[in-house]
Every structure is written in structure tokens, then in C-alpha cells.
Structure 1
Amino acid sequence: MRKLSPIAATLLALFSHNVLSQEAQTTNDANEALLDEVATVGYMHKGVARALEIQKTASSIVNVVSADGIGKLPDRNAAEAVQRMPGVSIERDQGEGRFVAVRGLPSQWNSTTLNGSRLPTAEEETTSRAVAFDFFPSDMIESVEVAKAIRPDMEGDAIGGSVNFITRRAPEEQTLSVNVGVGDSELAEGGSTSFNVLYGDRSDNGKFGYLVNATMWQRDWATDNYEPRRDGLGVHRLELRDYVGTRTTYGLNGAAEYLLDDGLIYAKALFGSLHDEETHYKHRVRYDKNRVELQHIYNELITEMSGFQVGGEHDLNATTGVDWSLATYTNKFFYGDIPNSADGAYYVVKFKQNVEFDGDVGMVDGVNLGDGLIYNTIDGGTDPALGIGMHLSDDWQMDPSQVVLADVELYDIDLKEKDKIVAELNVTHRMGTELEFKAGLKYRDKERSAMFFDKFFAWNETEFGPTPTLQQVADDLGVGLVDQPGREDFLSNFDIDYQRYFSTVLPVEALKGWWDDNQHKLTLLEGDSEIPELGGGLSRNFDLQESHMSVYGMATYTPSDNWTVLGGLRLTQTDTQVNGYVKVSDENGTRVEPAEGKKDYLSVLPSLHVTYSPDENTNYRLALTRTFARPDFGQLSPGATYLEIENELSSGNPELAPTYSNNLDLMYEYYFGDTGIVSLGYFYKQIIDPVFNQSYLGTYRGQTVTVTSPLNGDDATLHGVELAFNTKLSMLGSWADSFGFTANATFMDSDMDIPGRDDKVSISRQADSLYNIALYYDDGTFAARVAVNHKGAYIENHGSSADYDTYYGEYTSVDATASYQVTDKAMIYLELNNLSDEPLQYYTGSEARPNQIEYYGIKGQIGIRYDFF
């Protein structure tokens, strides 16, 4: 908190200046009237009013947030920009938003689109179709539309809903805006810098317009991680991870359009990237191995996405219009040049020291089970949830002269997914004032390649003598051992002072050169490594070709000002081919063979949307829709390992059917004032053929074998209620004219069957509650907002019983922002994130049995935006 005091002081100064200004204004009636006028068009009010107007007049159930709305809170990437909308939640990585989910369903069951088109995916550990949006800066977004009920003219692979990010278009007049910010991070003990410039203009005749938007955001980050690893309910090792790093986000958005006599043509280009240079010191207490380990991890994770789109909108005549677009998008993930350009990977150098633990290891209810595990008190063990002990003497500390090199690991992932062409054509025809027809088609040609290996190397003692110690490696490099970053306050809120047991460490930069000098002294451990040519990691090495062809037709009937009926049908053909490898081990030895899988299917997706508006401020909505989700890429992999001696085959399943959902949505909306809304909704989903990992008897090479692979399971159901409220607080008196309050909440419940479980369980990754609460002030000159965001706990993976279900814990964050309009052109602002220092948590069965807890600390940024014109 001390490090944020300059920022907090700035906020106080802004607020004080605003209060004094208000007191001066209240001395004359003319200024009071002027203030009332400004209050109706304040920075925050303006964005909310614009978004609510779009939502109110929409023909289906949607929520909208505008660029002004995004700017009112400290949400720095596209995922974070939507987390405060009703029914929308995000998943985080290192404290930053990454994946988007709607109504608590898994992120891969939702559609995230850019300008109406689904984006390709590439993410370090995820083989799903969910897009990681931490590479995409919020500065490049014009608006976001979240569709809770899918229309026929939208892509239908969206069981939870569709989140459409709309990038900025050419402005109506010359625009130049520059935004510069600097910040601080409490835990990282480092800063941040952001820069955004937007320039656009139009030709003298107004026909040609263009826009260029460039952004950069560099920030230091840190994470304190506490990670008990379990074998059943007992802990076989405790991992204490200390992360520090620097993330840099780059974004470039270009748009141009030319107005024709009968419409327009346009072009858009987009580039976004995330470079994350990470240093990670991991201490592992191995209760089952009688040793303590130290890992030095150094890597650079890089995500890059680019896209280009051209299109047009044309009026063929007074009643018929056509729009078209052609686009291509590429998304890729890879590691940087660590330890060098030839071996770029997740680079880990490990050391170990043998120890003897105390008698608490293996103890449950006073009985020694002899299993080498530590148990939490909930299971009759000796260790509390947040205080799993080292179980070593109080004066024990890692000794660099006794800590020997264990192995070196190179873990590499290279993903590339490309939508080679996305082509779309839509035709709209009006028949009088009451009836409109729309029809169209969309085609996508997709390819995806996934390369993976995990190599382990050990010191070759036969040729190069005894394995070196940590101290010897430091001496050979000619560098001194150092304290790891953040060691002094690592997990400082825990009762146990873990850091005092740690040794000094090697500077990771020096370890890059150590690999080059010593690689020839290391031997590949084939038995531990996962290498495709040796039959390892086959399910993660595959190539995919996939095409999507959709046609639709829909009609909108408006018999009066009170009724709107929209109905239609979308047909989507999906053709998938996956090429991978199978490891075969039989009487002829072990070998790797190519494998191929194909799956083609037609999805029939009808929908009906009815809106009844008894007056201009009230909507009653009904939607009946059918949507679907394609199987994850990793589930489709034909990669498999067959072990003849065990008669077992572990594989993916290219024959998986898609998951379908029949959806019912009901919504009541009442709008009042310029930014007021009360809404209440109910939704129900019948989910057909969800996917589970299962074991069953199957056939391979003409014989019956035990197969472990993903399969379609029994149907599931989900239902819930959704509430939203936004209002100014003028009813409290004139003093509250500039204050406002907003809140939304979604409560959900689901049921599904899991093979081998007698009880009903909830859908994987489905939270039971989401809510947002915010209090804001906006008088047109000064604006401030404090917001609370909450996501309930959900089951990450189902176990054999409720005690073995693994959960992602509930998450509640508090954020704040403030801005002061210094002049018509200049605004200074303040952003504060994670004021409650909320940890991320995973646990097994109960919070008293943690699997992972991460702390990120408080972050803040102060900056200035200047609009030249």
C-alpha cells in the first residue's frame, strides 16, 4: 500500500479540487443550472446512455458497453472490458483477464468474435476453442455486444452466448487523441508504462475516412504462489513459487472506408501481441521423495494475432441491400529465444538436496500410514490449509554446497491457427414497413498445427565427473549467488516464514550462457521425456483442417410499435480432418505410426425472438434458440498410445459429436431517465451430448481393449435468473444529481450425470453466482467509480466423489477509477486494481484442502489523455 500513496494522494487532490469547485459554483444560480446541464452528459453517463439505447431498441436479448463505458473502469484488455456486464465472467492468468465466459458456462462453450467473426485460438496450455484475450488491448475497442440469445444471422456455436468485440472505425471528423500513463505494482516492486495514440480524418468531400490506433502497455508483475500437490487427499509435495516478470502488450488497429453513392467499402487491419518475460524460482518440498528441490525457470511467452478484412455495404434499390466481407486471421503462440534461438523453450534448471522429514509425514488421526504424504487437518492430519509445514528443523536451510544439479528441462509448445479465408454475404429486403427478410452465407477455411515436446537432460557423470552443485555452477559461471526477487516478503501473510528456509539462487540471465557452455555434458533422459519420435506427447502433436459453411434465412415482422417477431433458421456444415500419431507397442517392438480422424456434421439451428413493448420504456422478451459447441481441438486429436502388455489404448476421439443446447430465455426490461434500467430475466438450457473423459471397452486392431478417451455423455440442464439495475441517485435530492449506482447479478444451477457417480453434479466450470456492484460520481468535470466484481466457485474437474472434485475458488475484486477534465481537451485519470488483494484459489472438495493460492498485490496507474482535435 505504501507504494501507491502518491497515486492515492493524487486522487485525494482531484476530489478536493472538485469539491471546492462545486462549492464555488453553488454561489450563483446560473452556474448551478450549468452544472445540471453538464451532469446529463458526463463522461460516464454518456457512455451508459449510448449503450442502453442500443440495448433497448435491439430485436433480441443483448447487453452493450461502449468505448466510453470501457474507459470508465481500469480494465486494460478485451477480456476485462466485459467482466462487469450481466452474466459475463472471466478467467485470469497472473491477475489479468484471459478467457471470457457467459452465464457461468465453460469459456469454450461461448463464442468470442471480432467484428462478427470467430477468432482463431493459440494459447500455451489450452487446446480448446476459447480465445485468450490478454493480448488484445481495450483501447482498440469501439464497443462490445454480448448476445444472450443467438439470432440466425450470427454464428451459432455459442451455448452460453456470443461476445462480439467491435474495433474502431474511421471518424466523422479529424481526430487526434494521445493517452500516456505510468503506474506501480505493490507486489512486483516495479512500474508500468502505457501509451495510446489514435488519429483519424476525412477527405474534404467526406467520402474517404481513415483511422490508425496504436497502443503499448508494459508492466512489471509478480505473483506469490502456494501450491500443495496432492495424491488423493494427501500432499506429496509442496510447491512455493515466486514469479516476477515483465509483460508488454502491443496493438495496432487500422481502418479505412470510402463512401459510394449507394453505400461504402471498407478495410480493417489488426495486430495484437503479448510478450511475457518470466523469471520463476520454484521451491519444491518432496515429502514422498525425502528431498527439497530448487528450480530456476526463465522463459518468454509470446502470443501474436493479426487479421485483415475488406468489405462493403450497398443499396441495390430502395428496399434491398447487400453487405459482404472477406477476411483472414492468424493467431500463434511460441516461446522466445531462451536459452538461445535454436532451443527456445520453457527453460528449467533444477537442483535437489536430500533431507529427512519429521514424524508428522503420513500421520492421520495419530496413525502413521507410511505413505509419505502430509494431510490437512480436515482429513485428520497435522497441517492447516494455509500452513502446510516444511517438516524440517527450525534452523534448516538449503546449502548451496549440498544442493546438486538434478536435471535440465526444455518444454516447448508451438501453436499456429489460421482462418485462411472467412467469406460472408448478407442480403436484406424490406417488404413495406412491417416485414423484413434477411438471408446470407458464411464460409471459413481453417488450419491448425500443434507441436509439443518436453525434454529432460541429466549430467553425464561417466564422461564429465561428479554432478555439480549449485555453488559450483555459480563458481563456473563467475557469478555470485543472489537473493531471489521478492524473497523478503514472499507469502508474508502466511503464518509460516517459508523464505527463511530458502537458499540464494543463480541469476537466470547467467543460466542462458550455462546451457550453451554445458549442453554437450548433458544426456537426454528418454524415459522421462515426451518426444513424438519416441512416442511421447502424441495427443498434443497434430494438424487440423476444418471448414465451416453456413447458410441462413430470417424474417423480422413488426405489425405495430408494440410487437417485434424475429424468426429463422441457420444451417452449419462442419468438416474436420485431424492428422496425428499413434504409439504402438507390441511383439514387434515400439514404433510411432501416423493416424487420421475425420468428422463431418450438419447443425440445424432454428431460433425465434419475440419482443412486446407496451410503451416506449418497457420490453418483454422471449427467445427460443438452438446453439452448439464444437469439440475442443485437443479432444479431436487422433494421437494415442497403445500398450499391448496392459491391453490399454489412451487416445483422443475424432468421432466426438458436437454439444447442442436448446435454450429458453425470458427477459423484462424497464428503462427510465437517460441511464436508468431495471431488468429481470430467466434462462433454461437443455445441453445435449456434453463431453467427458471416460474409460470403456473398445476395439483396436481387431481386438477388444480398454480405451480411455473423451466421449459424449448424458444430457445436462442449466437454469438461472439474471438481474440488472442502473440509476442516477437524483431521488435523494439535488446534491445527489451526479451520483449513480449500478448492480447486476446472475444466479445459476445445473445438473449432469458423471459415469461412476451416483450423485448429480454441476456442469464443469459453471459458477453458481456472478455479481457486480458499483457506485459512481460524474458531474461532467470530475468522475469517479468504485466497483466490486464477484464470481462464485465452480468445479474445474469432477472426481470419483464430491471430496475429490477440484474447484476454482470464488473471486471478489474491488477496483476504482477517477478522472478530472482539466480542459475541454485534457483529462487526467487514475486507475486502481485489486484493492482487496484478492487471491486466486483452487482446492479439492473444500477450501480447507487447497491446491493453489496466488497473490498479485494492488496495482495502479495515473495518466493523461489529450484530445488535440
Structure 2
Amino acid sequence: MNQRNFTIKLASVIALVLLCISLRPVHAQQNASLVGVVQDELSGLPGVNVRVKDQNSKGAITDLAGKFRLTNLPTGKSTLVLSFIGYENHEVEVDLTAGETKDLGEVNMKVLVTELDDVVVKGTYFPSQQRALNIKKQSPGIMEVMAADAIGKLPDRNAAEAVQRIQGVSIERDQGEGRYALVRGTPAEWNSTLINGDRLPASDGTSDNSMGTRSVPLDIFPSDMIEYVQLSKAITPDMEGDAIGGSINFITRTAPQNKTFNVSLGGGYNGQAEKPMYSASMLYGDRIGKFGFMVSAAYWNRNWGSDNYEVEYNFSSPDPKEQFAVDNLQLRDYMGQRTTLGLNVGLEYEFNTNHRIFARGVYSDFTDNEIARQHNFYFLENMAEVMTRNGKFTIQLSGGEVGGEHNLGNGWSLDWKASTYLNDMSTDDPKSLPKDERGYPMAFFQQRGVVFDDLVDGYKYLQVDDPSGDPEDDIQPDMQGSLDPQQLVLSQLLSYGIGSREQDVSGQLDIGKKINEKLTLTAGGKYKHKTREGGTPLTIWIPGAFLGIPNSPAPATLADLQTESFPENGGFLQEIGSPYEDILIDQITTKQLRELYTDDVLNQYGMYKISRGEDSPDAATGFYTGKESVVAAYIMGEYSISDQLMLIGGVRNESTTVDYKGKQVTTTLDANGDEVSIIQDVENHKTTNALLPMLHIKYSPQENLNIRAAYTRTFARPNFSDLNPGEVRNDQTRTITKGNVDLNPTYSNNLDLMAEYFFQDVGLLSGGVFYKQITDVIFKDQSILNISGQNYQVIEPKNLESAWLAGFEVGISKRMSFLPGALNGFGVEANYTYTRSELEVPRYEEQGGQVVTLMDKQSLPRQPKNIFNASVYYEKYGLMVRVAANFKGKYIDIIRQEAGPENYRWYDKNLTVDLSAAYSITKSLRFFLELNNLTNAPLRYYHGVSERPEQVEYYSVRGQAGLRFNLF
């Protein structure tokens, strides 16, 4: 309550200050205006400072297309001064009359540093870096920027891998490819992912961390479709407020100022899959009179592979001596083919210099066809298992927007936009099954009665926990004998469906008024309606003989079916000496796997079907539908106290209403002792309100120096899976698992201080500190509830009281232009972010018949302390070579509340090194080379301590080479 009162009071103060300033007398001014486009030989220049000479208060900043507008200018002759990092200051003489809006047309600027003239050619990194740094310099808030050409100079083929180079950003990977972005160590769902200012709808991923979250998988978005990436670390009131870590805005390509036609073709190889990959992209844009258009397309087809071993522990055992015993060892080989198709269209029509309308459309199709072959060894059950699965999932993103920008005169402006985006994820295999039974097919073969050696009192231990002190490498199964295809019996078939569908429809209106030369006010509103559907249907086939069904045929064995050699791909887990080559056996072919799901084969082996869909007690709670409506409004002011000091402040309010429908399942025992389940429909409704005051101070004591301070209040809405009203109550096991629609959003009060020094020869030195006071952190609580004298374990998402996160970041980008001759083509970019956090998680224990609450202090999940990026590059004489390293430190991945901190799942530190190179054969033709994961860094998770691995995965090196044609 105190915090809410604080925010209300602060918002009131900011609003009062803005109101008082706006009511100051405004002196009569002349009504002459000036518009134009600033560009170089390549395209428009964003972030150019346009000022009237000797009247610094009269000025403007060019937008992303290089356009500017100056209003309320004095009549008569005056001089414009244009400044841009790395370019010569440019002066333009103008002569204005009252009431006139003069169009200067195209104003050209020239590069300042003559030593770098030979690198400023079409398609190199230098001009892209200039644009990005100037946008950052002129931004009202704390922002990082990457431009299209910079993305193209790094070996990053999707949006996630592109943003990992930004200061303070780390990513989570899937099969070696970047998928989710994390800003300043905050969880992915605490960051807002936008496309042209609108938050993208989410889709479920394929891991426990991503199911039902608001995270957007960025590997579905080709980097070739991106014009700019803007990461706002301290947002302003005109931006969507659900961004505790930051707001990542992908700006898609739009109509260029001049005719542009680019084509790129590439081909390469994946070392782990030992198969090829190839890519192609095209961009064409032009202007015909007042109409401008752009069409781009990108296609990426790559084979991928990974070798993996995973270890599961018996941490749920009540006996502490057995908690670190190995329950099972899994050996996994993955092979797959991924395709990404992206299409982007941008249209605009300028009626005149005051009115413009535009439309943008995007489509992305990401398909992953995966084959996994697995050996499992269950030490506590004396069983071995072979599993094969082959299926594909597809994520499709589609949508677009229409809008307009209008200058109404006398300092008034009006912008509007309507948009809709759809994200749809589905699985659809095998085709022999009915549509509602398709999903991700899996076949399991079990060999029972396996005898394992090297056990201690019947348990398997790793060296770090082995009570016998055995120094032997005990990650081995140590079987007596070997796996036998005639004893490996088909135990079950699965078809596991993963699906979600989310669509956003929104509209927004922004009205601006330039009160005087010092003050501009902007106000606006936005309405968004979201629909969400999710479900995980599961169909199981089990041999009738296993179920005791009379006269059932004998189950199939692996020896009865078509098999193929285990795909070692140059040696399974050769990075650790290929220790399992004598254990691996042939497995069924993917063709045979699909044939198992035909009626003839299912009948031949007496497979009995069990459906677990929306009407099944086992799966009903996984199905839900939801609607979410957001009404947002804001007011923001930009006030120049002097030429060096600016205040940007205001308040945003977002009201969110959610309506969810799900299933409640209650399982009890009847008079005969049999389980009886009752399924009921449940609905929940809730409205929350987020009042978000914000204040930024921008101080520029020198032309190339910014000192920024900001207070912002932001929030993160609960994940969809947490809001799901579904509930499962089992009176036999005395457990209750449910969602919680009454969850509050997570709120954060953010303080930022940042200094930025921009080198004139294009570069940056920056540093800053940040602090976040966080309330209502959402976590999976496991508590004990007494019902009618019986204790039930309740698993339910709840809000914690408070947490904090703090850190600092430093970065440098510097060209060695001071070196002589050819050496001045060298440059370096490096940034480092340190983050610490703390929250208290309750843990419940029964002691002497009483439930005792213990509090465990820990860092936020998925929050690394250390992140750094470093790259060394050379760019001169048409040659560009860049070696880039990315490091992410260890962090807690999963909190196992019931088992305590010694059993948490940790992500281990990771360092990857990539290389990219390009050579401009001519001004229009460039050769490129991209190599990823040069050090073959593994993905690694561990259990409590580093010596106790949970998952280790290797991807090998991948890369491609090709040509880029810039025809116009």
C-alpha cells in the first residue's frame, strides 16, 4: 500500500510540473516551417542534429528515415547547421517567409575522417555503426541500437543471435541456435519483445522453461528482415510498460529514399550433422512519386545436430543419503532440419510534407523436423530403454499494421496506428493418424532385468557423491552384458501434441503539441485485445499383453523391425573421448517409426489406445482459453531547461482485464477403492491496474557527452500457464496442483545512471549503474494445506513479497584511426555487465507434526552475474574481418523448492566464439564468410555443484559462405 501511494504521489508531482510548465505564457511566434531529408550516398541518416545557427533552442532530430521538421522559425534569412558523428558539419542557407513550409528536399552530408574514406563503401560496417550511435545519442531514454548492416556483419541468422551482441543482453539457446533474449540478467518473460512498437504475441516453446510463458522465440524471425534493433533499458511513457528488464523493438525494413535491390546467396555445412545448409535473401524498394514501397524475403535451410548426455538424480527421496544417487543416465543423439521463411512488405504514401500514411506486413514460418535417438539406463529399476522420436513443429508469425502521421500546424501533430499479429504453434505428425491425435511421435523399447555393476547398496553415484570413495569414472552404465534387440520390447507409443495460438489486435492514437521552443507535450492511448488458446493432447498406445488383456498378440521387439545404424556423426560425444561407442545399438528407422502408427501394425502387435485429451482427467487441465484486454493511456513531456539539460517525464497507466476458462479435475476413491475423477469447467476473471510514473534527465555538458539518469516503474504480467484456472485435486495422493488467476503482476521500481561519450571518428565509451526494487515476484509455491485433518501438498503459483536486482555495465567501441597506414583499419568493441539479485523463497517442512516455514535466500532464476561481449575487427580496403566472443556466467535455472538449494538446477558458464568476414569485390558485389561456435562450447547444466552434471550438449562448428549483390 505504501508503495502504491508513493507511485501515485510521484505521478501527481510529475503531472503537476508538466501542467504548470504548459500554462506558462507563450509568446507569439512566426509560423514558418522547414522540412527535408538528410542523407549520404547510401541512404537517409537518422539522428542528425539540425539546428538554426546562433539559436540552439530551435532545432530537431532526423527520424529513422533521415527526415526532419522545424516549426515556428523566424522569417528571413538564417543558417541551418547539421551535425552527425563521423561526418563534416554541414550548413544550409534558407530564406523563409511567414506562413511558409519550405521543403529543402535531400540534404547530403560527407564523411569527416578522410583516413576511413576507403571503408565507407556500400555494404560495410562503418556507416551502419554511425547510424546506430547517432540514434542512441539523440534518444530521450537509455537505449542501445543495432542497425541492419551491423547485423549483417555478424554470423547471426536470427533475431536472438543478433541482439546477444548488445551490451547487457544474453540469450538462451535451443540446439545451438539462439531462441530467447534476456536483458540485464532478468528472465525472458520480464522483457518486452516488440515489432515496430507493438508487443509480439508469444508461442509455447519445447522446454519446461518456455511452456505457457509470454516469451517470444526469436529464432522464428530472420535477421535479414530487421532494419534496426532498439533496446530500451529505461523506457519512456509512450512505450508499453511491461518491460522490467528492457524493451526490445525490432523495426522492420520500410520504403527507402532511393531505389534499392539487394540479393544474397549462401551455402555452408554443419559439422555435427555432417550435412549442408544454405540461405538466400532479397530486398527491393523504390519510390514512384509520392508512393514508396519495399519488399524483402529471406530463406534459411539448415541441417543441425547435437550429442547429449543427461543425468537425473533421486533428489525427491526422503533419505538424504540417497538424494544424490543417479536415477538414470540418458544418451541422446539429435539430428534435424530447420527452415525459416520470412517475408516483409512496407508501403507508404506521402500526400504532402504534412501527411503520410503507411502499411507494413510480416510473415515468418519456422519449421523444425527433429529426429532423436536415445538410450536410457534406469539404475534403480534394473532396466534399459531405447527411444526413437521423429516429428516436427511449426511456428508461424503473421500480421501487419496500417497507420498515419499528420502535422496539423501550429505545433500540433497526430499519429495513429491499427495492427494485428498472430503467432500459431502446432505439431502435425504422423499423417497416418487422425488430425486430433497427431503430435510428436515417440517409440519406447524396454529391456528389463538388466544387471548394473559398480552400485553402492543398490544405488549409482557419481564420484563427487560416491560413499565408497571409488575413483573410477562412474558416469558409465557398467552393464553386465549388452543391450539385446530381442529383449528390447516395444513398451509404448506416444503422440504428444504441443500447440498454442495467440492473436493480438490493437489500436493507438498519439497527439503532440509543441507548446514553445522548450516544451513539447504528447498524450495518447492504446487498446489491445488478446486471445489465447493452449493445449497438450496426448495419445498413448500400450501392448495389450502389458495391460493383461486376454489373447493379446506378443509385443514387438526391436529385432522384429527395420533398424539403422546409430548416427554417431564422426563419433558420439567425441568431445569427451567417445566413451559410449561400445554401448550404442542400432535403432528403428524413421520410416519404420511412422509405420508403427498405421492401423495394420497397431493391430498386428495388439497396441491398445489411451487418449488423454481435453476430456481426460490426466490432461484436461492442460487445455484452456483466455482473453486479455489492455487499456493504456499516457502523458509525456519533453522540457529543455537549457541547451544542455533536458527533462523527459510523464505517467502511463495500463488496465488489464483477463478472462480464462479451464478444467478442474477432482480424483477420489469410491467404495471399491477405485479412482473416480470428476471434470468441471471453471472460469476466472480479474482486472489489475498498473500506474507507471517515469522521469528521465539528460545532461549534455559537451556535444559528444551524455549523462543520463532515470526513474521508471515497469511491470511484468503473469505467464499464461500461471493464470490457467485449471486445478487437479487427488485425494489418494493428497496433492493439489492449480493455477492462480488472482496473481498480481510483478512490479519494479528502476533507477538508472548512465554516461556516454561518443568519439568523433565513430565510437563510444559508456558506463552506468542500475537498481531494481521488485515486488510480487511469481514462483511455483509448494505448500502444505490441511483439509479435514489431512495434509495436502499444494503446488500453485504465488507472489513473493520483494526482491532486488542491481549491477553495472561498461562498454567501448573504438576504431584505431590514430594508427598509421593500414593499421587504422583495426577496431575493438567490448562490453561487460555485472548483475546481482536476491529474493527469499519459502520452503515448508513437517517437524514434530507441525508445518515449519524456512526461507532460502538466492538470486533470481536465470540471472547470470557476468555477461560480456568482445570483438576485434579489421575493416579497410574493402576487407572486413571480425572475431566475436560472447560469455554468459552461471545461474540458477530451476528452483526445486521441496528439495532445497543443494538440488537446484544450474546453468553453467558458457563462452562462444564466432567469426565473420567479407570482401567487397566491387562496389556492388561482396563475398562473405560466417563461422559459428569455433570453440565448440557445450551447453551444460549441473545439479547443485559443477561436478554433478545434469545435461551436457555439444553442437560442433557450423558456417557458410556466399555472395551479396547490391544492384542499386
TM-score normalised by L of structure 2: 0.82
The answer for the alignment partner of 1:443 in structure 2 is 527
Which of 826, 829, 841 in structure 1 is aligned with 2:940?
A: 841
What corresponds to 2:555 in structure 1? 467
Q: CA 1:669 to 1:495, structure 2 compared with 1: closer, same or farther past 3 Å?
A: same
- 2:373 equivalent in structure 1: 281
2:743 maps to 1:656: yes
2:341 equivalent in structure 1: 250
Contact in 2 for aligned 1:287/1:374 (Cα 8 Å): no
CA–CA distance in structure 2, aligned partners of residues 84 and 403 of structure 1:
48
Matched, 1:264 2:359: no
Distance 1:596 1:379, change over 3 A: farther
Q: Aligned partners of 1:245, 1:865: CA distance in 2, in Å?
A: 27
Is this contact kept in 2: 1:651–1:709, CA < 8 A? yes
- Provide, for residues 457-483 of structure 1, a one-character-per-residue CA deviation record: whole Å limited to 9, x for no partner: 112234442112111133xxxxxx220
Listed as ranges, the matches of 1:622-633 within 5 Å are: 622-633=709-720
Change (3 A) 1:382 1:280: farther
Q: 1:374 is aligned with what amino acid?
A: Y
Query: Which residue does the alignment assign to 2:245?
Result: 160
Per the alignment, do residues 383 and 561 of structure 1 end up closer, same or farther by CA in structure 2, a change over 3 Å counting? farther
Task: State the shift of 1:552 in Å.
Answer: 0.2
Counting only pairs closer than 5 Å after superposition, residues 333-732 of structure 1 correspond to structure 2 as: 333-340=425-432, 342=434, 343-361=437-455, 363=456, 368=457, 370=458, 372-378=459-465, 380=467, 388-393=475-480, 396-419=481-504, 421-461=505-545, 462-474=550-562, 481-486=563-568, 489-495=571-577, 497-516=579-598, 517-520=600-603, 521-524=605-608, 530-586=612-668, 589-696=676-783, 706-732=793-819
**Alpha-carbon distance, 1:352 to partner:** 1.6
Alignment of 1:832 with 2:931, yes or no, is: yes
Does the 8 Å CA contact 1:389/1:496 hold for their aligned counterparts?
no
Distance of aligned partners of 1:464 and 1:339 in 2 relative to their CA distance in 1, 3 Å threshold = farther
In structure 2, give the amino acid aligned to 1:747. Y
1:45-73 deviation line (CA, Å, top 9, x unaligned): 21111101111111110000000110110
Shift of 1:646: 4.6
Q: Residue type of the partner of 1:170?
A: A
Counterpart AA for 1:331: N
| Cα distance in 1, alignment partners of residues 132 and 638 from structure 2 | 22
Post-superposition shift, 1:486? 2.5
Bigger radius of gyration, 1 or 2? 2
Do the aligned partners of residues 62 and 487 (structure 1) sit closer, same or farther apart at CA in structure 2, a change above 3 Å counting? closer
Give me the whole-angstrom Cα distance separating, in 1, the residues matched to 2:470 and 2:395.
40
Out of 759, 762, 774, the position equivalent to 2:871 is: 774
Match of 2:128 in 1: 47
Q: In structure 2, give the amino acid aligned to 1:230.
A: Y
Structure 1 counterpart SS, 2:409: coil
**Which residue, 110, 113, 118 being the options, matches 1:38?**
118
Structure 2: distance between partners of 1:522 and 1:331: 39
Give the structure 2 partner of residue 196 of structure 1.
281
Residue in 2 that maps onto 1:809: 908
Aligned amino acid, residue 269 of structure 1? G
Q: Which amino acid aligns with 1:639?
A: G
* One-letter identity of the residue aligned with 2:345: G
Q: Is 1:212 matched with 2:295? A: yes
Letter in 2 for 1:89: S
CA contact (8 A) 1:49 1:674 kept: no
SS in structure 2 at match of 1:465: coil
2:110 corresponds to? none
Letter aligned with residue 220 of structure 1 = N
Residues 853 and 865 of structure 1, relative CA distance in 2, 3 Å threshold: same
Gaps of 5+ in 2: 1-112, 316-323, 671-675, 844-853
Structure 1 distance, partners of 2:768, 2:834, is 11
Quote the offset at 1:645 in angstroms.
3.8
For 1:72 and 1:510, the matched residues in 2 are separated by 44
Give, in whole Å, the separation in 2 of the partners of 1:344 and 1:437.
55
Instruction: Tell me the equivalent position of 1:312.
Output: 404
Which residue does 2:95 correspond to in 1? none
Report if the CA contact (8 A) 2:454-2:460 is conserved. Answer: no
More moved, 269-278 vs 342-351: 342-351
Q: Is the 8 A contact 2:274 2:569 kept in 1?
A: no
Give the conservation status (yes or no) of the 8 Å contact 1:649–1:708: yes
What one-letter code is carried by the residue in structure 2 that aligns with 1:465? P
Contact 2:928 2:963 (8 Å CA) reproduced: yes
* 783-792 or 752-761, larger mean C-alpha shift: 752-761
Which among 290, 299, 307 is matched to residue 391 of structure 2? 299
Query: 3-state SS of the aligned residue for 2:424?
Result: strand
* 2:834–2:866 CA contact under 8 A, matched in 1: yes
Find the residue that maps to 1:731 and give its secondary structure.
coil
Distance 1:534 1:443 in 2: 37
Name the amino acid aligned to 1:438. T
CA distance in 2, matches of 1:484, 1:268: 47
Conservation of the 8 A alpha-carbon contact between 2:811 and 2:832: yes
Structure 2 counterpart of 1:293, one-letter code: E
The answer on whether the counterparts of 1:176 and 1:197 sit within 8 Å (CA) in structure 2 is yes
SS in 1 for 2:575: coil
Q: Structure 1 residues 582, 678: CA separation in 2 closer, same or farther (over 3 Å shift)?
A: same
Match for residue 791 of structure 1 among 888, 893, 903: 888
In the TM superposition, what whole-angstrom CA distance separates every residue of 1:183-214 from its partner, at most 9, and x where no partner exists?
A: 011111001010101111211x2x10111111
* 1:867 to 2:950 alignment: no
Post-superposition offset of 1:733:
3.4
CA shift digits 1:748-799 (9 cap, x unpaired): 1111101025442101111101100000011150101000001111101223
Q: Distance in 2 between matches of 1:808 and 1:864?
A: 38
Aligned length, in residue pairs? 817
Contact between 1:397 and 1:503, CA under 8 Å: does it hold in 2?
A: no
CA–CA distance in structure 2, aligned partners of residues 123 and 701 of structure 1:
38
The code of the aligned residue for 1:357 comes to V
Amino acid at match of 1:459: P
What's the counterpart of residue 955 of structure 2? Answer: 856
Which residue identity does 1:778 align to in structure 2?
E
- Work out whether 1:104 is the aligned partner of 2:195: no
- Residue 101 of structure 1 and its aligned partner are, at CA, apart by 1.0
Matches within 5 A, 1:123-202: 123-125=204-206, 126-202=211-287
Contact 2:553 2:606 in 1 (8 A): no
Q: 1:144 corresponds to which letter in structure 2?
A: V
Q: CA deviation at 1:487?
A: 5.5
Question: 1: CA distance between counterparts of 2:462 and 2:451?
Answer: 14
The answer as to whether partners of 1:664 and 1:684 remain within 8 angstroms in 2 is yes
Structure 1 window deviating more from structure 2 (517-526 vs 590-599): it is 517-526
Identity of aligned residues (%): 37
